[in-house]
Structure 1
Amino acid sequence: MNEDTHVEWREWGPEAFAEADRTNKPVLLSLSATWCAGCHEMDTETYSEPRIAANVNDGFVPVRVDVDRQPRVRERYNMGGFPTTAFLTPEGKLLTGAMYLGPDGMRQVLDRVREMWDAKGNEAGRVPRALAGNPTPAGAVTPAIEEHLAGQLGEKYDERFAGWGNDAKFPMPRTVEFALKRERDQALRTLDAVRDHLLDDVAGGFFRYAGDRGWGDVHHEKLLDTNAALVRAFANAYLYTGEDVYREPAEQTIDYLTDELWTGLGIGGSQGPAEGSDYYLLDADERAETTKPRTDLTVFAGGNALAADAFLTYHAYTDDETAREYARRLLDTLRTDLVDEHGVVTHFAGDEASESLLLEDHARVVAAFCRAQQVLGEGVDVARAVADAAIDELYDEESFRDGPAEGTGMLDKPLRPIDANVEMADALLDLAVLTGDDEYREIARETIGAFAGAADRIGVQVASYGAVAGRLCRDPLVVAVADEVGSDLHRAALRIADHEKLVVPEATGDEYERGKAYLLDGDEAYAAETPSELMETVAERAQL
């Protein structure tokens, strides 16, 4: 029994569902997270109420899942946010569900679910449409996809407060990066709003989102994934502008991640809001005398890969040695503790129960080691092994499943999330250039094409779909540097003001002369001997 809630929580697994079948009871699935204030409040206000706990224990098989540790469960049963309370049949099909439930709401829902179960039993369960096995809406990959998403930027942009949409504001770092090349003013104004409203100016790090259109009602969770992605977005804004107002938030956030969340092995997954609502109004000295917010120091593969990618991006534009050193340490942890000899990625470190072969983890690890190859001159072999494992195990019907199509409940039903497919396709395009293997580019094309039939319904939340489609419709901007890593030419190539470019360091071959950089444009190669010549060549080609 969990003494905090008085509910006899079971772990997710076949035993819990076998018990539900044996006792003819529905499963009550609680999706929770360490960083989720509402989850802890629901434990305190609802699950610790003795009569509710007794009702749950007597009439249901209660299962608690950490959504960060078990993302496949999260994606199949999430009711729109956390906490989620979902009710399932013993087969794992969905009966009904809700988000936060106070004591009165929980009593009503428990009674209603029991009535439904007594009347219909297993027949009341359903499989959501996304898991029904229907083919994705395939179509041709054309420039119209990028044009549509670029148009969505303007259509959904909030001219008054910045950001996209007229409700709660999330930072949307990948949308910002898409906009940096297509609607730069929108991107920069949005980053200004993110910096001014979501950055903790005492400890560093970005909060998860603002609850209203004007960036007020800030929710004070700090998640590794959000912060790593914002480091990269701010660094890329600095690449285009050279302004410290975009470099400094990235630097502060790197300091936060490598201080507050550093475990020695990697970066922990999250820091939740403080118990008291005033914590983030305190200065550094006052915070030192107050209980710190709840922290989850689990080292997740995807988040740490994203951080390594972001740190190396920042280092490439600034020569910051701290960012490079921590990136190296993260890459070492990924190699040693989270990627096996077959290229299979384990979701988090230090627990044999961790899932493996999750699409998002593989996509981010491939991207991180492709970035390492460009910036440090090493890593492409790991990227290739991890990509090959994902292709072998997760790729079918011209797109990727989110993980192995097996497991308890509806885990055996394939899910093809567009956002993780886009991340993998983007990483495969990088890998194709760095290895010279066009098969990766073709798999990326098929993956983007698998969703292209519904491209006109894709919105700004997945604007990166347009970026990858655009990359597939034109030759990539590639700079081959026939010089050592860290040379002036190499550093200049990394700082070309296009964050979608690819840099191939230590380029060798009869076509390359040592000590020169080559701008590759289709079958043509334009040589430069100095950083200034390289920049002039890039500018000239951009005007054609």
Structure 2
Amino acid sequence: MDGAATSPKTSMRINNAVPRLTLLSDLRAGENGCRRARLCSIFSPESPGVKRLCVDLGRLSRWLLAAIWVIVLVPAPTVWAYAHHNSSVRFLDLSPATFEIARREGKPVFLLISAVWCYWCKYFDQNTLKNDEVSKYLNRHYVSIFVDHDRRVDLVRKYVRGLPMIVLFDPDGRVRQSFAGALKSEDFLGVLKHVASDVRTSVATAQPRTPPAGPVIPSSPVPVTPETYRRLREGMLNFVNDHLDTTYGGFGSGDKYPHARLLGYLVGQYDASRDHRYLVAVDKSLDGILSGIYDPVEGGFFRYAEGREWRQPHYEKLLDVNASLVLVLVEAYRVTRTPRYQQAAEATIAYLLRTLHDARAGGFYGSQTADPAYYRLALEERRAARRPPVNRDKVAEWNAQAALVFLAVGQSSGRKDLVDIGLSTLEFMRRNLVSDKGMFHFFDVKTGRGQLRGQLTANGWAALAFLEGYRVSRLDIYRRAAERVLGYARDELFDTAHGAFVDDKTTPLSLGANGIMAEALIQAHRLTGRTDDLAVATRVLAALGGVARSLLVEDADATAVTRAAEAVFFLNAYRQVVEKL
């Protein structure tokens, strides 16, 4: 199951073959008559400042219609955020009043964090929570709270280690037990009874209440210097080398995630050094990704696969995963000329436009729900089947990433329609998600309103995307939107005492989120000339230099691959500042 939990295994494996779709034409570097444009460097931070990717414009005129109509399927139904109001468990929404009820009634609290796209979350709901004995026990002895994973990223940062995530509190809000995974009804009931018994008898099995962990920041900043950057870069490359799975591709020896950021970093390293070892690593990893989590029928990628061998996909399709992989595949094709990379990129763009893009209002929906039975079907069988539903919440940072990808690929291929899709996504964000207090985290299509402000990654990604939109279109509305978002971030999210950006005072510092924000500030400086933006970015890099050094140089063996992937953005921003020294 998602995250740290385990799950039943099956022997199913996706066909390795990637179907040829005549969508984007062959990309021939250096061909006469090609339009050339800079690919966005966000996902490939070490690449040269100007990317070159040429296309045969004669064939490109047919690609978009082919992409949309190559697979004719029943439209995907809509699914809104998890419909827990229909559950046999009486769930409440999280609020201070909810814990007040628990204190007044002397009951423990059952907090469930679940994602609408998550197969094992659905399994837990249908096979455990709907068990009559479990639901009756929860309704009698617990106060139950439901949290939607995609909507409450603030709580995800605090609690989530996998999905579904269960946290059991005592009435005073102390955590008694927490775990990720879909327990069977009898096992889950046993845990519930044990915790409830402890609460009733005041057995002190929980850790005493302690102040929440704040940002982990070194006591003194590390000056931004070329030598520090050299050490950080070497640390990243050593980390990648140590964790690259040379047998099956990907990173690490456990469950396999695509980690497009790291792959983009390796492509950039090849651009800078022409060292073919980087391409070998990219090839091996993309082989695993294409054989393990790629959907050869409809295009697009699943979120991850269980096991070192990519043996069992988890079938949800998320916007950010697919957008980031499109750019990596395009970049990989540019330097390797491997046809299957081009084909997979084309099919994934087609999937995004066909399934997740809102052509009427602009922007992209967040995800398509996991459905193992559906994705095991061949094309003819899928045409008659009910498609997995699409969650129509529009997540700000994922839309920003998609906009960046469509702007980059559209420019590099000479496709104005792809650029227009990127700009229409930015326009949707500007009209619906920008507020006087920065970005809303997501847009609820059902209510027509943005929700949850103050999230660092939403503001950082949106600022980056608006700035790129301004660079491409020269429309001043996007420059103003970026300045509005960055102004809020500087005023409200920047911790002047430590020199770093924080979401709040209760969650650990994010190296990745600070790297994204530093990158946005550097781009703002380049486009507007504001020296204050460069100064704040440099201060962030200095403040977190020790964190990055600890992560990549001093304690790399103990570091999770995901955290190293987040450091890519930090290194990208660091390189750009060093180049100005």
Which secondary structure does the structure 2 equivalent of 1:278 belong to? helix
> Which deviates more from structure 2 when the two are superposed, residues 95-104 or residues 84-93?
84-93
Q: How far does residue 464 in structure 1 lie from its aligned partner after superposition?
A: 4.7
Structure 2 residue identity aligned to 1:446: R
Query: Structure 1 CA distance, aligned partners of 2:484 and 2:117?
Result: 33
Say if 1:36 and 1:221, in contact at 8 Å, map to a contact too: yes
> Is structure 2 residue 526 aligned with structure 1 residue 433?
yes
Structure 2 residue identity aligned to 1:452: G
Say if 2:463 and 2:485, in contact at 8 Å, map to a contact too: yes
Which secondary structure does the structure 1 equivalent of 2:523 belong to? helix
Show the counterpart of 1:451: 544
> Is structure 2 residue 485 aligned with structure 1 residue 386?
yes
How far does the alpha carbon of each residue in 1:75-127 deviate from its partner, in whole angstroms, 9 at most, with x for none? Answer: 2121x200011012344432211122211221221122113323447993556
1:398 to 492, 499, 502: 499
Q: Note closer, same or farther for the CA distance 1:16–1:383 as it changes in structure 2 (3 Å cut).
A: same
Say if 2:365 and 2:391, in contact at 8 Å, map to a contact too: yes
Show the counterpart of 2:27: none
Show the counterpart of 2:125: 43
Q: How far does residue 355 in structure 1 lie from its aligned partner after superposition?
A: 0.6
Give runs of aligned pairs for residues 174-193 of structure 1, distance below 5 A: 174-182=261-269, 183-193=278-288
Show the counterpart of 2:179: 98
Q: How far does residue 31 in structure 1 lie from its aligned partner after superposition?
A: 0.5
Structure 1 residue identity aligned to 2:570: V
Which secondary structure does the structure 2 equivalent of 1:315 belong to? helix
Which secondary structure does the structure 2 equivalent of 1:124 belong to? coil
Show the counterpart of 1:508: none
Q: Note closer, same or farther for the CA distance 1:373–1:10 as it changes in structure 2 (3 Å cut).
A: same
Show the counterpart of 1:468: 570
Query: Structure 2 CA distance, aligned partners of 1:43 and 1:110?
Result: 16
Q: Percent identity?
A: 27
How many residue pairs end up in the alignment?
A: 467
Query: Structure 2 CA distance, aligned partners of 1:134 and 1:159?
Result: 35
Q: What do you get for the CA RMSD once the two structures are aligned?
A: 2.6
> Is structure 2 residue 411 aligned with structure 1 residue 316?
yes
Which secondary structure does the structure 2 equivalent of 1:162 belong to? coil
Structure 1 residue identity aligned to 2:434: V
Query: Structure 2 CA distance, aligned partners of 1:241 and 1:316?
Result: 20
> Is structure 2 residue 130 aligned with structure 1 residue 81?
no
> Which deviates more from structure 2 when the two are superposed, residues 113-122 or residues 24-33?
113-122
2:153 to 65, 68, 71: 71
Show the counterpart of 2:260: 173
Q: How far does residue 239 in structure 1 lie from its aligned partner after superposition?
A: 4.2
Show the counterpart of 1:220: 315
Show the counterpart of 1:199: 294
Structure 1 residue identity aligned to 2:90: E
Q: Note closer, same or farther for the CA distance 1:235–1:469 as it changes in structure 2 (3 Å cut).
A: same
Structure 1 residue identity aligned to 2:458: D
Structure 1 residue identity aligned to 2:400: A
Query: Structure 1 CA distance, aligned partners of 2:287 and 2:209?
Result: 42
Structure 1 residue identity aligned to 2:187: G
Give runs of aligned pairs for residues 112-261 of structure 1, distance below 5 A: 112-120=194-202, 124=206, 131-133=212-214, 135-137=216-218, 139-140=221-222, 141=224, 142-143=228-229, 144-182=231-269, 183-241=278-336, 243-261=338-356
Q: Note closer, same or farther for the CA distance 1:346–1:82 as it changes in structure 2 (3 Å cut).
A: closer
Say if 1:45 and 1:103, in contact at 8 Å, map to a contact too: yes
How far does the alpha carbon of each residue in 1:195-226 deviate from its partner, in whole angstroms, 9 at most, with x for none? Answer: 33322121111100111112211111101111
Structure 2 residue identity aligned to 1:427: A
Q: Note closer, same or farther for the CA distance 1:207–1:466 as it changes in structure 2 (3 Å cut).
A: closer
TM-score (norm 1): 0.79
Query: Structure 2 CA distance, aligned partners of 1:179 and 1:71?
Result: 29
Query: Structure 2 CA distance, aligned partners of 1:217 and 1:257?
Result: 23
Say if 2:515 and 2:571, in contact at 8 Å, map to a contact too: no
Which secondary structure does the structure 2 equivalent of 1:374 belong to? helix
Query: Structure 2 CA distance, aligned partners of 1:383 and 1:36?
Result: 33
Query: Structure 1 CA distance, aligned partners of 2:221 and 2:565?
Result: 17
Show the counterpart of 1:325: 420
Which secondary structure does the structure 1 equivalent of 2:442 belong to? coil
TM-score (norm 2): 0.75
How far does the alpha carbon of each residue in 1:418-451 deviate from its partner, in whole angstroms, 9 at most, with x for none? Answer: 2222222222222222222232233223333333
Show the counterpart of 1:362: 459
Say if 2:440 and 2:451, in contact at 8 Å, map to a contact too: no
Structure 2 residue identity aligned to 1:220: Y
1:8 to 74, 87, 90: 90
Query: Structure 2 CA distance, aligned partners of 1:285 and 1:86?
Result: 43
> Is structure 2 residue 385 aligned with structure 1 residue 290?
yes
1:337 to 411, 432, 442: 432
Say if 2:174 and 2:209, in contact at 8 Å, map to a contact too: yes
Structure 2 residue identity aligned to 1:431: A
Say if 2:292 and 2:312, in contact at 8 Å, map to a contact too: no
Q: How far does residue 25 in structure 1 lie from its aligned partner after superposition?
A: 1.3
Say if 2:366 and 2:391, in contact at 8 Å, map to a contact too: yes
Q: Note closer, same or farther for the CA distance 1:271–1:387 as it changes in structure 2 (3 Å cut).
A: same
> Which deviates more from structure 2 when the two are superposed, residues 169-178 or residues 368-377?
368-377
Query: Structure 2 CA distance, aligned partners of 1:438 and 1:341?
Result: 23
Query: Structure 2 CA distance, aligned partners of 1:395 and 1:430?
Result: 18
Say if 1:234 and 1:246, in contact at 8 Å, map to a contact too: yes
Which secondary structure does the structure 2 equivalent of 1:161 belong to? coil
2:102 to 15, 20, 40: 20
How far does the alpha carbon of each residue in 1:225-255 deviate from its partner, in whole angstroms, 9 at most, with x for none? Answer: 1111212222333444455533332232222
1:375 to 469, 472, 483: 472
Show the counterpart of 2:60: none
Which secondary structure does the structure 2 equivalent of 1:96 belong to? strand
Structure 2 residue identity aligned to 1:157: L
Which secondary structure does the structure 2 equivalent of 1:203 belong to? coil
| Structure 2 unaligned spans of 5+ | 1-82, 270-277, 553-558
Structure 2 residue identity aligned to 1:115: S
Say if 2:221 and 2:546, in contact at 8 Å, map to a contact too: yes
Q: Note closer, same or farther for the CA distance 1:281–1:422 as it changes in structure 2 (3 Å cut).
A: same
Q: How far does residue 163 in structure 1 lie from its aligned partner after superposition?
A: 1.0
Q: Note closer, same or farther for the CA distance 1:206–1:466 as it changes in structure 2 (3 Å cut).
A: closer
> Which deviates more from structure 2 when the two are superposed, residues 385-394 or residues 90-99?
90-99
Show the counterpart of 1:503: none
Q: Note closer, same or farther for the CA distance 1:184–1:468 as it changes in structure 2 (3 Å cut).
A: farther
Q: Note closer, same or farther for the CA distance 1:420–1:473 as it changes in structure 2 (3 Å cut).
A: closer
Q: Note closer, same or farther for the CA distance 1:319–1:218 as it changes in structure 2 (3 Å cut).
A: same
Query: Structure 2 CA distance, aligned partners of 1:115 and 1:324?
Result: 60
Which secondary structure does the structure 2 equivalent of 1:10 belong to? strand
Which secondary structure does the structure 1 equivalent of 2:356 belong to? coil
Query: Structure 1 CA distance, aligned partners of 2:188 and 2:137?
Result: 10
Query: Structure 2 CA distance, aligned partners of 1:375 and 1:456?
Result: 37
Q: How far does residue 282 in structure 1 lie from its aligned partner after superposition?
A: 2.2
Query: Structure 1 CA distance, aligned partners of 2:419 and 2:280?
Result: 30
Greater relative contact order (Cα 8 A, min sep 6): structure 1 or 2?
2
Say if 2:463 and 2:520, in contact at 8 Å, map to a contact too: yes
